[in-house]
Amino acid sequence: MLRLKRRNSVLSLLAVSLAAMLYGCSNGCADKIADIHVSSPGGNAMKVEVGVSTTADLAVSVQYWPKGNQKQLSSTLISPAGKKHRVVLTNLKPLQEYGYRIVTSNENCSSASRDYTFTTQDYPMWLKDIFKVICPDTTVLPKNFMQGYSMIFRRETPGILFFMNARGSIVWYHQVNGTGFKDAHFTKDNTIIALLGTEDYQTSYGNEILELTLTGDTVFHLKKGQADFKQTIHHEVLLNDLNQVVTICCEERILDLRARGGKVADTVKSDGILVMDKSGKQIWKWTVFDTLNPVDDKNIVKDKSDWMHANCLNFDTDGNYLLSFYNNGQIWKIDVKTGKVIWKFGKGGDFAMPANGVFDNSHAVHINAKNQLMLFDNGTSKLLSRTLAFNLDQKNKTASLELNIPLPPELYSERMGSAFMVSDSTVLNSCSKKNTVVLTNLQGRYLWLLRTGFMPYRAEFIPAERLMPYIQAN
């Protein structure tokens, strides 16, 4: 139970009248607070919600600090003028006593309440000791990594998304009950967009799309069955430049596969790209079946239950799609308007592949800060996972291998995984099947390693400035 105190007296969590306890300017701004209500949304040990009611239209913010240490004072964003305010305090630690005050203002004055205290809850028992960092020498870590955060998420129920600092401490988390985080990305708007799925949905498949702010508020929430959202989504959910939702969706067709030894009415399951607005209205759609005829694949009867298996969708620098397929070891560039396949990269593709550049399977395909096509190669034929990055000459269909970073055999991950640059000389890898996130240099040497109590599908690095003021180093 969250505890709220005035000086040394315990106050109820119900509405508390503070009108007679405020001080400030003399023209009436200071005495307009009617009550304050403090709670812990969802039982989260690192967030506190302060509800403030005023008798006049006032702007409200909250200043707060660890009890006895006002040098670590934080301040929330200002809630615009009104009479009902809901302010969320983040950057808290479990079982920590905090001081706080309410700041009210209008165009004429600003004033603050007396100081009060609350004590945060503890983590759930099962959340304790879920992470362990191994880092023999912190001096080798890049400065931005020491200051920044890694975002990882748990796909099992209950799903939890975490931001971790370099010490392996949880600095922010959000829990969803009855479902799991199957995929998540930190957006350009500094929100989190996620694919959720209940236990009825395997691995990276889901039936809900959720966008969250860093205060834990819902921007939008779509469930399968609403509007044009009729299909299962898997592996990917993104926002495009038009603030539309871009996903990989499940597609299936009933086809005559007798020419390949199948049945007259066989079901072939594959993939598509579905674009919706945030109300669930379909904007655009493309499927593998628009491009390939399953009957042309000699292995279609064997692969019909998961033909192609798209596992990552992203954008090229020109806005067109990059779609990777696990089963055939290819990445396709697809026209964002027409759906035409512009090129195929990888085994049997349109590019001359450089020596040592042929990859078995790929995950987390993206364009990195150096404008290179970067991916995590599962390496199933060699039992060796790698980070690869290529410079592509899209006109002449040639490629040069710029990064080839092997991971040690003990971190081989035959499924899932990710690799993202942290600095010019370091890469953050998620070795999913080994329950490990590792920072390496460009030679694959360990610099920092995080052991997790679950299978981390991906690990994204988030620079510190992207999370301020909601998360600050302390």
Q: Are 120 and 46 in contact (CB under 8 A)?
A: yes
In a domain, 324, yes or no: no
In a domain, 188, yes or no: no
In a domain, 406, yes or no: no
pLDDT digits (tens, 9 = 90+) for 420-465: 999 999 999 999 999 999 999 999 999 999 999 999 999 999 999 9
In a domain, 285, yes or no: no
Q: What is the pLDDT of residue 473?
A: 75
In a domain, 294, yes or no: no
Query: What range defines the domain where residue 43 resides?
Result: 3-119
Q: How far is CA 440 from the centre of its chain?
A: 21
Distance CA 203, CA 235 (A): 9
Short-list 172, 136, 135, 137, CA closest to 152: 172
In a domain, 131, yes or no: no
Residues with pLDDT less than 50, the chain:
1, 3-24, 26-27
What are 447's two structure tokens? Answer: 């610099």
* DSSP 8-state assignment for residue 107: S
The CATH number of residue 49's host domain is: 2.60.40.10
In a domain, 96, yes or no: yes
In a domain, 92, yes or no: yes
Q: What's the total number of domains in the chain? A: 1
CA angle 93–96–102, rounded 5-degree value: 90
Distance CA 126, CA 434 (A): 20
The torsion region of residue 24 among left (phi > 0), alpha (psi -120 to 50) and beta comes to: left
